[in-house]
Structure 1
């Protein structure tokens, strides 16, 4: 079964840290919706009957900038061209300032059954620093609004490691989320990405990044705090109550097939070697023009051989609490990691970054999760 990702590039304003593709100046969404529906029809004719869809995910950007009728029209087009009979999860990313009860109820009525809510912080100072479009009041009210509209499956995003953020703010953010009985929490450290407002502020000396040690301490505190309160830390950034894991994201980490639609969206399809990955152009106007002209708006397409896929699997699996099943790695990807990387595994284990190998499975320790990328670099082929 496959996933469908739909990138909606519209935003109210530019958050200082964001390096995803977005636009803030579009007045009409109609050309985008028309192009998206044409792209859905194209990929539906090619892939729609190969595998039924398991998940649909609206990401961005800010998908909640689209009206309810636009979203319903898009979902109807998906149902026309893909097999949606087995869809388990339909997620929409939502900003708190878009979360009116009327809008939320319309989402629930059209079949959206999960929300990913970009709260980021419950404190006005943090929201102002990040240039978020919502207020502290909206951040604190959106969870109740979602429940009132009929959503019991939702996630909130929170960001730690903000410069000058008092440590007690981060603890209070987590405490409030737990107190609200949020079923899923995604936590991210503030990262300085190239070509962002934040990168420019750092370069000009207007903002100083927190030391790595401080960021690691906040992350270790996050793991301990949420796990002690019954959350499963099932992926580097993801914490859930039992039964509330993201089905769509879990499919990514398991190397399952997905189609990405909209500007800058990526796709992955593997039914035989080589596997295929491709991405759309990172420009809304170019995307719309190409689709309207009957062309696919591709930026690149690449072929992935078994070694490429094995390295991806090592990276993706190590991010999860399931870790790397070395029997599965050998059977599907042809790699005996104990044979290839025995010395590195031993050193990482002795350094407290990997748990002792049991049942031929490699898992990160809490300490290892703070330096996941460097551990991956030691284990890839």
Structure 2
């Protein structure tokens, strides 16, 4: 392993989505050729579809990052791993398992020795502080707001903090789901229960906080921001912000007013999306609606095809933010049904005009020729078909019977 490799990356969400591809690639490049890469499946290992989640994650890293990944659960596998990743699932399940198996101790040793790359996201990121948010128990089961003891990786860096991913979540719509589904009321209550020296480190969705363990720098990458919050007061660092680890320590102690010394442009990738899957779904729906309104059949088809392409890009995503891939597929099915119904966007009158107009003209000629009986027969046929003819001074007009 190259001597310079020593990095801890914390992600707010999107860890196996297109939005984080370049972040992963940048970390892997620091490890040299052929790094041994390990996926810790613990946070979701209890789920019936755990094998499917692992397969999707491995496919994502192989196809998008160029990294062959092994799947493991125990501490022994971590010892000689160059790159270690863990992501979605249950923070509390992961905490219980990692304490029992010494994985927590091995992760602390990796960070303390400033060696290798350790990438922890979503549920796994929740576990790394002095305390952890038991998000499922509070948000979905209804437990009173409380903390669980974390595995505390960051105290080795002088950071007595709790890490809250999904910090800017808006999935609740009509109710507050920021701060990993806690909302302001519950987070404010829980802050009062933290140790005096502890602060909150919030990481937005589709955002990564990269800590260079050797250079002791902190860089915010991705779409959102990193927030350092202490008893309601906060300092926000948008993507591209760079600060020293010592400066982050001061902020965690309550020193406010700091601004980053520099900003860096996020590393670009030509095919890296600027939108999340939920945003892409909304954009495709809007384009479909606009096309339906103006009767543009080609644009209708293009909107459906674009949505299908976006779903394919996000197929390996193991998160389920805002419904995830399954919700996107449901929208796709809905648009396909609508497309079928709108296959011919012309009004009924427009569709019938090529047939009715010649018959009305024929009736007019017959009347001029005095063939009134035949002209009346044409009118009767049209009437039976729902066409109403009105003779005016400007000539005959027709409409469809409502």
TM-score (norm 2): 0.29
Task: Report the structure number with the largest CA radius of gyration.
Answer: 2
TM-score (norm 1): 0.31
